[in-house]
Amino acid sequence: MALPPQSTSTTAPPDELPLELLHGELIFSGILLSKDKEGDINELLSKLEFIGFSTGYRLIERLLKDSTRFKDELDTIKFICKDFWVAIYKKQIDNLRTNHQGTYVLQDNCFKLLSKISATKQYLEHGPKFLAFTCGIIRGALSNLGISSVVVAEISTMPTCRFHITIQRAT
Amino acid sequence: MRSAVSVILSGTAPEQNMSYPDYSQTPLDHQSLLVVVRHIGRQLRTKQFNRAFERISRINQLKVFDSQNQARHIWIRYLRGYPQENNDWGDFQTHRKALGLITVGQCNSQDEFNELCRIHESLKVGYAFTLYDSRCILFGLNQDGTLYEESHSSDISPCVDPADDGFHKKNESNSGSPRDSAVSSTAMPDSLQSCSNSGGSSAPSSIGGIINIPKKSTSSDSLQNYLETPNEDTFDSVSEDSSSRSESVSATIQYARMEQEAGLAGGQVNADRQSVDKQSTEPKSLVAPTNFKARTLFYPTMEHSQTLETDIEEFIASLFWILESKRMDKLGLRKADRHLLLNSLCAPFEKKDFVGLDLESKNNKRRADGRLKKQLGDLSLQAGLLSEAISHYHSAADILKSVNDWLWLAGALEGMCSASVACLYPQLRRSPTLQRNSSLQGSELTKYKVAAIGTTNSLPPGLDPEQIGGYKPMIKNCLTPAEILEKYREAVTHYGKYRQAGIIETEASIKAALVLIEQRQTLHAADFLQNAVFISLQLTEDEKMQRFNALSELYTKVGFHRKAAFFKRVAAMRCVSPHNPHPNWALCHSLLLQLLEGYKLSLNPNEISTYNFYGWPRLQMQVMQELVGTAKRKGNNALATRHMTFLVHAMLPHMSRDERREFAQQLEALSKDAEGLPVPLAIDNGLIVPPVHLQHTPSVKVFKLVPPTPHLKPEKVEDKKLEEASPFVYTPFSAHRDRGAKDVTKAEFSWVEGELCEVNVILENPLPIELKVSSMCLITEGVKFHVNSNVISIPAESNMFPATLTGKPLEPGTLRILGYSTYTLGVKSNIRLKNMKNMLFPHIDVEIVPALPSLDVSTSKPKSEFFSSFSDSVVTSASISLLMGETQECTVTLTNTGKVPIEHLEMKMDSRLDKQILDIFKWSEDNIMSQLPIQPGASASFTVYIYGVGDFIGQPDNSNTVDNSSVSSLPVSNAPSVDGPSSLPSRLGAISDRLRPKRTESSASNRSSVKSGGGSSVLSFPVRSPKVSMASNVKNYEAVLNLKYSGGPGFKTGHFRRCGVAFNVEVSPTLYITKWDTLPGESPAQFYLVLDLWNATDHEMEVQYAKNKQILVEKAESCRIPVPVDRCPMTNVEKGKEEQACCEHIVTNVDLKWVLPECSGKATMQGIRLTPPMVQLVTVSPIHWEITINGESVKPEEIRFDAGEMISVNVWLRNHLKEALEDLSLSLDCFQDYQNGRCNYKLDSRFAVIGNDSVLIPEICPGSSFQHALSMIFFVPGLYKVDFKCNRKSSEDCVWKFNPPLDIQIN
Amino acid sequence: MAVCVCVIGKDNGPIYMRSRSRADELSQTVEHNLSQMAFRGVTANTELQYNFIVSSALDIIEERALVGSSASGYKGNPSLHPSASGGAVGSIDGQQLATRELYLGALTAREEYKVYGYMTNTKIKFVIVIEETSIPLRENDIRTMFRKLHSAFCDLMSNPFYLPGSSINSKRFDAVVTSIMSGQ
């Protein structure tokens, strides 16, 4: 379903720059500069993803302090798309789709962490690196809510990106 | 009276103690008739009784057809005992009345029979006011009442008299076939009548209905008479006194009893008839005592009682009819008379209030009316008329509410609920077969709850589709689930207003809870239970215990396992509370065991670890402690220890420091009485407590097998051929290696039979006290393995405590190490690797190879303090220091310290250095081999000869630099002998010489070799202080003598061991040949090798350089010696190889012996290089000169002539070589030598030559010679020299001179 | 007056337990311990007792949470007073809303104390045992207590040194709990 797009989504007030800059630095000097073999970079990325995980895990605790209990899974995901996303990226997810079988696709048309990088193909191959952290955040938030999931992200054209959340049903 | 006393005597009767709630009650019990079944007499064994009870209670439902020929479903509830007080509540709730009594007994004699009858009677007295009818079932008698003997059991068993048969058919085929119903209706003619006149029936008619009973009763008497000796008056009197006894009981009961007997007559008569007939024929049939008026049912044995069921059904039917009739009567009562019943319509505790109550008051009338309605409701509910019951209840409720009769209102409400429940949840009825077993119910209900959880978005609880479908059609104004909940609430609250109604309230709450569980409204259920908990009842500890236990089971049903566990525990505490006169520890213990699950505990240590979470540690610890305590108190020390062990093992992570100490000490104390053994314990209640192993005290951090030390490591001979043949051929060795790669459980090394094997462990002691492990050893399987247990004591809270577990394999094969066992805190535990968290594999296999000898090696030389051990199997070392060229001996002694002889021995000298080593060490193999085998304890020895090699040629300190580098890469010996530069022209060498000091810092081998070139050059002079060089000249050689040995069984399987002796040889320089040159010798056959010797030692040195030629060289001095050497015959030396040939010639022919005060040695010329001119001198020249002057062959001294005198010279050249010499030119030069290094060749005016002063010689064939003659005349006196030389045209390089030149003195 | 505050983790194991009464130290011998445990009745007011109370309260928390999530019927008021019960039945839908909030209300009521429950979205449960005193606490007071507790917990979660799910030993958290128990 489509969520009402936020008017303030494109223009970035300065107060959110720090996150972007920090994150950018993390990626650039933390990962890209480590001129090592592919395996090493993946390792670093997964570390970053885990950092995201625990960040989300702890963050959700606070964000949900005053909200009521969720009705169901979809309710939770919606929260991620709205309040949660706003809390981090000052905008909502632009589009949420689901197959009602535990797969959700969150689309952000102007993902903050990519918005400053490029609108062209210039750095496209680096794009994914900038999503690992956020994937972790989502996964962490959900897992603290008792939903274990796998989150993967894809970039079609910068700075648009999609997060695919696949819920792992306890079998 | 006696009977009553006898009741007391009969003991088991619970009537005596105060009444308590019946926790097993369900709402549906409102609808059932209560029948008490009692075990009487001692002959009947309890097991038998239970079987009987089982059979009876199977008949818990009966379908009867009433007067309108409608099917009525009658439910029966059987109880083994029923407290009279509860019975007294029967008027309040009729289902509490014990309507029937069945006694079961066995008798084998008349007086036993009498006794049983008496007991039966006395029991009847107990329920006198409520009892409708009773039966006395006696085993051991035939149908006819005669004693039963085993002998004719056979003919009895088939005997089934038709009447019973008929009954049988009828009752079991109650499925409503018209014939049967007909029978049943005809069976009750007058009850039909009484029934026919409905609600508004007038008293007379109904009386009439009863009136005509006596007439019937005669028949009933008569049939009694068949049983007993007919005696009217006794009977009457009894009936009278019984009636007189029951003053308050309405007469109807009296009648009812008769009536019922009458009613049954129809069915029973003929049976009795037959029994009569039998009786008449059988003399010895038992006779019941005169006052016995109960129906007796005789059965030979449990097996021969096919008719039991039918008889019971008949009995039930009778009960029903009485009930029905009573209902009718109540129904038929005139409004006017109702209030009269008020006395009978009251709860026990109300009675006193009602004394002298104004029955006429309107209020009381209404009250009575309401109560009656209520009771009617009860009755019709029991009589199987649900809808009527409900309507009665409704009206009752309305009336009672209006008169504030709360108690009865509550009753009505509860009734209403039960009725509705009967409609909605018939499945609530417990099956008679299911015995009340908490665990079972727990499990089944948890399943249930899970299901409930599973259906998340279903209809609200209690509105499950099937239920909706269930009750809608059935009955009007039946309550909805929600209403039921409400009514129950209301009822319970009303009950709550009466202290005396506590039990009722409790039961109501429980029933409500059951219903709500059925509705899956667990929270409500919990509320009701909660409420039940707080109702204060006067109960004994024992009853309290039962109460809490019951609650706990109910909570389990609700699915509240923690609460259930909580109450279980409270119940358990009750068993042993100090107020309890006789505490029951065993019971307490078993109760505690039941609650473990609720707290996520399991006595199986393996399970505890598998729980995804550990529950509530604090509570678990508490419970475990209590278990320990109770186990101890009930005297099962082993069990106490086991529990304590478990506590320490499983709860350790959650314990505080103090707790750890505390529990550890407790465990130690407990295990003093009963040590903990690793075996399952069986508790008296059949439970098996699995063994607990103390895995954490101490816990093993590292568990590592120790490979044998390198020199003892057994190795397998690798079968080269096999491996090369094809990689697919199996060879144990390679196979082993492969497996080693794949599975880690196989150790890469192997141990040796009969030798000590070690496993290193690192232990952690989590306890704040010192932990004494009185025995710790390995657990193994496979080959025989003798383990040594060792005592360890680990300081408090040390987490890195190393220890070693040892053992001896007693046979070859594969040893599997499974784990280790400890005995600590008085507990013996076996810990398996597979249970250890940090272990990767479940076990470790080690190969045990057959016994091998072990070798101890010693040498006669001192051990060297350091050697670079490039072979780790080195066991000892010898350091030898000798001088260049010296030779020493070293004796090596081999001792067999093993248990098997050394049969096989191989020796090899290995070194990082090159083959030069072979020059250093020498020994004789055969000598050693001859000494084999070396028996255990014996020893063998042999000698190694060590020669101090060194380069005498060249510069000490360049060899020194080489020496340094030799350690790194380049072998020493290469240095001097390296390539080209040696053949460099001398000046260059000199230059390089001067440059040396700068270069030595960077001692790269190639540079050093350059210098060595310089060194070996002719004209170089040493630029260095000998002192410095002295120190730096010592060379070290390291070599290891590797011994490969084997013997005994190990040898046969191709195993061996290796050990090594490290030799550390240091060679200090003696003398150096710094410069050398060649000079022509006295004879052309000889030449002088002129050497500059430099004494590098700090002693005076004598050098013998030729036979009886020696010279003393001061220390650090050099001196020059001429060594006469025969020339090197250049025979069969191909071109270009001359120099090499010459060097070899010199090396072999020159030998210098040096002698120092204490030792002596030889110096070799190895490595000497020669420049072409030298080679010339060394070699015998191919051309042999022969010159005559005036026919005389020349002498070396000068020849005198006068000026102008003609001198004729003849020159012969002979060719020594194999091949011909071609294109030679012979020429002579005449010159004057001014002795100042200048020669004057311009002598044209001073002499003349007659003939050619130079000729070309085309060729001189081998062996042949060429002659040239000429004459010369000198004109001026003086000293002239004449030089003949001959050279090849082709190459200028080789020139042969005749030397010395001729000296000619002209005067 | 709050006498016991307990935090229970996702897996229903306690991660924080604090009660007014001094912790009952371990008894010296099994026998002694035994007499002690026999003495401990239903109302023995020891720290252990609170453990028992809270743990059994968990049952109800779970149940309510379940009911709440499975959007069905009951959140009620444990007292069996007719009026209250009437309310319970009448206001089923209203109660559904009630479960959506984190505060679970009173779990069990006894003469001497009441047990209140609260569950965060992340399945962390807070339980507070209130001693019944002359001045009964108002529902709102309880709510504020829980809210304080919850925000304290959030702060704790934001502390990188606290490993989520591990037992809590944070001075800061302690302080908050103390303030709650001392009743301001």
Lowest mean pLDDT among B635-644, B748-757, B868-877: B868-877
Q: Which residue of C has its CA nearest to B630?
A: C34
| Residue B1183 confidence (pLDDT) above 70 | yes
> Cβ of C122 and A71 within 8 Å?
no
- The DSSP-derived string for B795-852 is PTT-S-EEEEEEEEE-SSEEEEEEEEEEEETTEEEEEEGGG-TT-SSS-EEEEEEPP-
Query: What is the spatial order of strands in the sheet that C113-119 belongs to?
Result: C14-19, C2-8, C125-131, C113-119, C103-109
Lowest mean pLDDT among B80-84, B194-198, B1299-1303: B194-198
Q: What subunits touch chain B, counting only 3 or more CB pairs under 8 A?
A: C
> Cβ of C121 and A58 within 8 Å?
no
Residues in chain B: 1307
Closest CA to B121 of B255, B297, B240, B3: B3
B-contacting residues of C 23-52, CB under 8 Å?
25-26, 29-31, 33-35, 37-42, 48, 51-52
Question: Nearest-5° angle of CA A72, CA A78, CA A84?
Answer: 120
> Cβ of B666 and C30 within 8 Å?
yes
- CA-CA distance, B456 to C72, in Å (whole number)? 8
Percent of chain B with pLDDT over 70: 69
Helix, strand, coil in percent for chain B, rounding step 5: 40, 25, 30
Residues of chain C with Cβ-Cβ distance to B417 below 8 Å are none
Lowest mean pLDDT among A135-149, B79-93, B152-166, B1139-1153: B152-166
- CA-CA distance, B252 to B255, in Å (whole number)? 5
- CA-CA distance, C173 to C182, in Å (whole number)? 14
How far C175 CA lies from chain B's nearest CA (Å)? 22
Cross-strand pairs, A153: A163
Q: Which residue of C has its CA nearest to A67?
A: C101
C182 in contact with chain B, both atoms CB, cutoff 8 A:
no
Looking at residues B909-938, what average pLDDT do you find?
76
Q: Which residue of C has its CA nearest to A68?
A: C101
Closest CA to B43 of B103, B105, B120, B102: B105
| Residue B744 confidence (pLDDT) above 70 | no
Whether B198 and B205 have beta carbons less than 8 Å apart is answered as no
Residues of chain A with Cβ-Cβ distance to C15 below 8 Å are none
Looking at residues C95-119, what average pLDDT do you find?
73
Whether B768 and B797 have beta carbons less than 8 Å apart is answered as yes
How far C108 CA lies from chain A's nearest CA (Å)? 22
Amino acid at B856: D
Amino acid at B703: F
Q: What is the ipTM, given to two decimal places?
A: 0.77
Closest CA to B132 of B324, B3, B307: B324
| Residue C109 confidence (pLDDT) above 80 | no
Lowest mean pLDDT among B96-100, B153-157, B1205-1209: B153-157
Looking at residues B141-152, what average pLDDT do you find?
65
Closest CA to C120 of C108, C103, C96: C103
C-alpha A143 chain-centroid distance: 14
- Please give the structure tokens belonging to residue A162: 């999609």
Q: What is the pLDDT of residues B984-1026, one digit of tens each?
A: 333 333 333 333 333 333 333 333 333 333 333 333 333 333 4
| Residues sharing a CB contact under 8 Å with residue B244, sequence separation 6 or more, in sequence order | none
Per-residue three-class SS string for B163-214: HHHHHHHHHHCCCCCHHHHHHHHHHCHHHHHHHHCCCCCCHHHHHHHHHCHH
Four-point Cα dihedral B910, B911, B917, B922, nearest 10: -30
> Cβ of A144 and C122 within 8 Å?
yes
Whether B921 and B963 have beta carbons less than 8 Å apart is answered as no
- Please give the structure tokens belonging to residue B452: 């409930």
Looking at residues A145-171, what average pLDDT do you find?
84
Q: Which residue of C has its CA nearest to A70?
A: C100
How far C14 CA lies from chain B's nearest CA (Å)? 6
Whether B218 and B260 have beta carbons less than 8 Å apart is answered as no
Q: What is the DSSP letter of B592?
A: H
- What is residue A139's predicted lDDT score, i.e. its pLDDT? 92
Q: How confident is the model at residue B1196 (pLDDT cuts 50, 70, 90)?
A: low
C-alpha B998 chain-centroid distance: 69
b/e per residue, B687-714, with b = 16+ CB within 10 A? eebbbbbbbbbbbbeebebebbebbbbb
Q: Which residue of A has its CA nearest to C96?
A: A71
> Cβ of C157 and A58 within 8 Å?
yes
- CA-CA distance, B1277 to B1259, in Å (whole number)? 38
| Residues sharing a CB contact under 8 Å with residue B104, sequence separation 6 or more, in sequence order | B37, B38, B39, B40, B44, B49, B52, B53, B137, B139
Q: What is the torsional sign of CA C66, C71, C73, C76?
A: positive
Residues of chain B with Cβ-Cβ distance to C91 below 8 Å are none
Q: Which residue of B has its CA nearest to C72?
A: B460
Q: Highest mean pLDDT: which of A157-161, B139-143, B278-282, C30-34?
A: A157-161
- What is residue B436's predicted lDDT score, i.e. its pLDDT? 39
* Residue B398 phi, psi dihedral angles, 5° rounding: -60, -50
Closest CA to B1268 of B1205, B1182, B1202, B1183: B1183
Whether B1166 and B916 have beta carbons less than 8 Å apart is answered as no
Cross-strand pairs, B625: none
Residues of chain C with Cβ-Cβ distance to B505 below 8 Å are none
Q: Which residue of B has its CA nearest to C75?
A: B523
| Residues sharing a CB contact under 8 Å with residue A78, sequence separation 6 or more, in sequence order | A96
- CA-CA distance, B552 to C42, in Å (whole number)? 14
> Cβ of A146 and C10 within 8 Å?
yes
| Residue B1142 confidence (pLDDT) above 70 | yes
| Residue B815 confidence (pLDDT) above 50 | yes
* Residue A19 phi, psi dihedral angles, 5° rounding: -55, -50
Closest CA to B73 of B472, B466, B511, B423: B423
Residues of chain A with Cβ-Cβ distance to C122 below 8 Å are 60-61, 64, 144-146
Nearest to C37 among B457, B615, B626 (CB): B626
Q: What subunits touch chain A, counting only 3 or more CB pairs under 8 A?
A: C
Q: What is the pLDDT of residues B661-678, one digit of tens each?
A: 888 888 888 888 888 888
- Element housing C131 (H / E): strand C125-131
> Cβ of C58 and B521 within 8 Å?
no
| Residue B437 confidence (pLDDT) above 60 | no
| Residue B610 confidence (pLDDT) above 80 | no
Nearest to A64 among C101, C122, C158 (CB): C122
- What is residue B722's predicted lDDT score, i.e. its pLDDT? 41
